[in-house]
Structure 1
């Protein structure tokens, strides 16, 4: 090796590009718990024909994973929703992997209560003391979790990425590859939809809007027998993405008459604003239970 180039480093993992004397390069990634299973996940998915980044070598020393992977180079473009849908369909068709956490109907039903218990334990340690938004969301979700989780095991149910967003897909000269699968789990494919629309890179928000997920937006599922004339054509993962594709309609509320200067743009911007009010997805609660470093805005 001649030189190394830091690509990204944070508290629990890091990625570097190693330039070798043979005029080639490899990617070195290290991670600590709970992200030490990524090499095994990548190798298993590659064996099922999923286009993931190739692992050349890996080892675990103590509580730290080290991997050497192929260098895919610079992406030729940013991933789009169509790219994400194509790759997600392949991934979700993969049979469940036994060593991954499984979010079936039973697990999803118990998730809010488990999340509240984990949050209480962290607050006893002096952490997440200002996480009122997460606590309130979980308290409101717990009574209806069973109804929301009903039918969660209908297809597509398989391996989910867990962090599906534009930087998780590499579109280069070698084709499209999936990256960063350390948080993969078995569950309904719509949970990957929730992480895609929640990510600010895939669905940008205005600077004045909060970047953390919201549980109850101004949309509700279409009721049985109700006209779909006002329904949204894009189910954006509302309510833990467990409405499973049901169309959405605006909740009743006070309507503001547009001022003359914004009257022309009101319909388009209003629709976009509602679509950007994202759900609190299941991955955030799972991170909380695992005590992973997710900190809400303003948390101590």
Structure 2
């Protein structure tokens, strides 16, 4: 009997040691991948806060699909100028920040890559110069061909030409999700538009039953369109997750954990490996914002069960 117990304990010790080594190796690989000293678990931590000048605010952070570049939005504290910057990996280190290749002299924000890395969508106030299109935020697109990015082009969504349209996120099928409002930011909510023969169709409002009467913004749509994360607008911004069922309905909707929803959160983004959630958070009055990241893998699995 005692011999059997010793054998069981020995097996458990071997398994525990193996799992510990595996976890340690995984953490080290993430440190190499993101070029950081600390990897978050289920408690969010700031990501490269040193990128944010003391007199500025950070609003969003996303990676290119191959993790070689990181793009982030910086604004002044009066929200008058939004500029997108990027850093890239060079010889095992992050480079000095520079303005993103698609940044303009106007306001630019809300960038998002397709999962294959060949398309980039973002929002901008640059002139459209098309009759009937209101001067405000609209969606633009750049495509990568032969390793060269094209000049950004305006995305025309017919029933939104007089609306503010921002923060696009794209599925593998090419469907765009984004938030829409009047030009004074009233009646903000999330819409989607499908491409047909190269042209985007009239946008449809996102129907999430539990949040039908709640304003929503800054959506992240999973590439397979099986879940969406967005910010609900109330006394503060809270991050909400919802899953699409087999009938195409959004269900199992809930707030992300309290460890994530603390001060006011927006601009959610999931890394291409589906491991980490990045989001902007901070006190609106103090304006001490940061982009934080957290391991979201177990939360996604739990919600999908």
TM-score over 0.5 for the alignment?
no
Which one has more relative contact order, counting CA pairs under 8 Å at least 6 apart? Answer: 1
Q: Which has the higher strand share?
A: 2
TM-score by length of 1: 0.24
TM-score by length of 2: 0.24
Q: Which has the higher helix share?
A: 1
